Amino acid sequence: MLRFVLSSIVIATCAWLEASEGPTVQRPNILWIIPDDMSAHFSCYGETAIATPNVDRLAASGVQFNHAFVTAPVCSTCRSAFITGMYQTSIGAHHHRSGRGELKIELPQEIALLPKLFQDAGYYTAITGWPITGRQGKTDYNFEWNPSIYDGVDWSQREPGQPFFAQIQTPGGKLRGSDASGWTKMAQNARRTLGDATTNDAVALPPYYPNHPDILRDWAAYLDSVRMTDVMVGEVLEKLEADGDLENTLVLFMTDHGISHARGKQFLYDEGLHVPLIISGPGIPAATIRNDLVEHIDIAALSLAAAGIPIPEAMQARDILSVDYDPREATFAARDRCDETVDHLRSVRTDAFKYIRNFLPNRPYLQPCAYKDDKAILMALREYHAAGKLNAVQELLFRDIRPSEELYDLKQDPHEIRNLAGDPAYAAPLAELRRKLNDWMDDTGDLGQEPESQEMYDSDMKVYTDRLGGPKFDPAHLQQVQDNIALMKQWARQGK
């Protein structure tokens, strides 16, 4: 089935390229729809608490990837990766929101940003939010780049007959906010738009989260953010159809990483890494399901190929729609510094196992991080922890130290709860995945193997703390960040 699908896509691509030799060339448009902070909680992926008819419609008209994973569980590193088709660790973009201060990060000379490649090929390039206004959509790249790679925010401003490469970047899971005020607004928006809001009773939490009322309410609001994202997808498809662009547009739907939760965003468990990936458009057979492993950076290569643009030799992304595509045996991911919080984790995932290496095992799982610690769901977890209301599985996040290695049998333990790294019965898969990860770090030139310089850290932290002193100045939050920075430096001096 996979071979048939890829052959059909290649035949269609060849037809586009042959047509380009004539006077009536109509190269395909490429449109990415990428919400923030959202896992694959859509009906077509098995979510039963809510309905997502528009994303389901998109999947029914194209190919749905059930095992797509990001290479970084936080936005700026993930976005730096997919816009270059490179692992963030290979291009020095692996620390979240790095290079924002006086010290900058420059890309290697051989690395080109995808919009520039499309622009050079005659495409109109756009990046926007939704609905389309005069404001540019989210970029958040961890390196220096020229804004001229984007021609505008609205692809309808292109020249007649000119194809477009456009991105719609939307808040996604961020729509729910971080506390009760955000949850209330989300519920009101859902009732106004959809007629009802998701209730706490509809929520089925993963086993590592307790049924705390705030956690249930937050998850309900998150599910409504999924529903509202689905509405947005429907509006985009309606616009494409009304403008006469739908039939000639490759539409790609993916999120930038998993749900922002205690064990999701910023962690290398599947909750933070597994994302939806759906592609529909010319040459894509309808109602196709792919269960092979793919990485989010692959959207760069497949988009270029669909447009007939050569894929740069240095690009690590793979054209997963190519007839000669050799499916991946494993996917890889990395988590490094996020805001002020220093960390260093790597993972490799196969169909059967997940292996995580903690390079700083003497630090707690829930390191101090102002961004996450200010969320009501983290406060709820800590409340139940202090009150002794968490079971053994839910207490895992509150360990003061971490094992240097984690191994999970994904078939038997999909929630990644039982660490098998010390079990002699699993010595063989442990050794194999340990080798795979070592080879990947060496082969891709993982720059995270060297710690971030103190000068770069201080440069980025100055920008971070200066921004906290803006119009919404909160002295307690600023002090929290400054205390965390001091603690990170103390732990580094202690070799922790």
User: Are 301 and 445 members of one domain?
Assistant: no
Looking at the DSSP assignment, which residues form a beta bridge with residue 335?
345
Q: Report the C-alpha gap between 186 and 200 in whole angstroms.
A: 13
Residues 339 and 313 in one domain: no
Residue pair 478/491 in contact (Cβ under 8 Å)? The answer is no
pLDDT of residue 17: 45
> In terms of domains, do 272 and 383 share one?
no
Same domain for 260 and 365?
no
Q: Which helix or strand (DSSP H or E) is residue 482 part of?
A: helix 475-493
- Asked if the structure places residue 488 within a domain, the reply is no
Count of domains for the chain: 2
Regarding whether 98 and 9 lie in a shared domain, the answer is yes
User: What's 172's DSSP letter?
Assistant: G
Crossing angle between the packed helical segments 475-493 and 454-468, to the nearest 10 degrees: 170
The residues facing 332 across adjacent strands are 348
Residue 258 lies in a domain: yes
Whole-number pLDDT of residue 25: 57
Q: Of the candidates 115, 54, 80, which has an alpha carbon nearest to the alpha carbon of residue 251?
A: 54
Domain assignment present for residue 495? The answer is no
In Å, how far are 211, 256, 404 from 393, measured between CA atoms? 13, 28, 19
- Are 146 and 292 in the same domain? yes
Q: Rounded distance, CA 374 to CA 477, Å? A: 9
Residue 345 and residue 213 share a domain: no
What residues have CB less than 8 Å from 385, skipping those under 6 apart? Answer: 395, 398
Question: Domain holding 78: CATH number?
Answer: 3.40.720.10
- Judge whether 410 and 353 are in contact, CB under 8 Å: yes
The dihedrals phi and psi of 279, each to the nearest 5 degrees, come to -130, 130
SS3 readout for 199-224: CHHHCCCCCCCCCCHHHHHHHHHHHH
Q: Do 384 and 274 share a domain, yes or no?
A: no
**Sign of the C-alpha dihedral computed for residues 465, 467, 470 and 474 taken in this order:** negative
Q: Write out the DSSP string of 434-455.
A: HHHHHHHHHHTT-GGGSPPPHH
Same domain, 148 and 184: yes
The answer to whether residue 489 is domain-embedded is: no
Of 326, 351, 372, the last residue of a domain is 326
Written as tens digits, the pLDDT of the chain (496 aa) is 444 344 444 444 444 444 344 334 589 999 999 999 999 999 999 999 999 999 999 999 999 999 999 999 999 999 999 999 999 999 999 999 999 999 999 999 999 999 999 999 999 999 999 999 999 999 999 999 999 999 999 999 999 999 999 999 999 999 999 999 999 999 999 999 999 999 999 999 999 999 999 999 999 999 999 999 999 999 999 999 999 999 999 999 999 999 999 999 999 999 999 999 999 999 999 999 999 999 999 999 999 999 999 999 999 999 999 999 999 999 999 999 999 999 999 999 999 999 999 999 999 999 999 999 999 999 999 999 999 999 999 999 999 999 999 999 999 999 999 999 999 999 999 999 999 999 999 999 999 999 999 999 999 999 999 999 888 889 999 999 999 999 999 999 999 9
In a domain, 378, yes or no: yes
CATH (domain of 361): 3.30.1120.10
- pTM comes to 0.95
Task: Based on the fold, state whether residues 277 and 352 are members of the same structural domain.
Answer: no
Residues 176 and 117 in one domain: yes
CA pseudo-torsion sign 290, 295, 297, 301 = negative
Q: Which residues constitute the domain of residue 413?
A: 335-453
Residues 69 and 195 in one domain: yes
Encoding tokens for residue 29?
Answer: 């448009």
| Torsion angles phi and psi, residue 342, rounded to 5 | -85, 130
The answer as to whether 276 is a domain residue is: yes
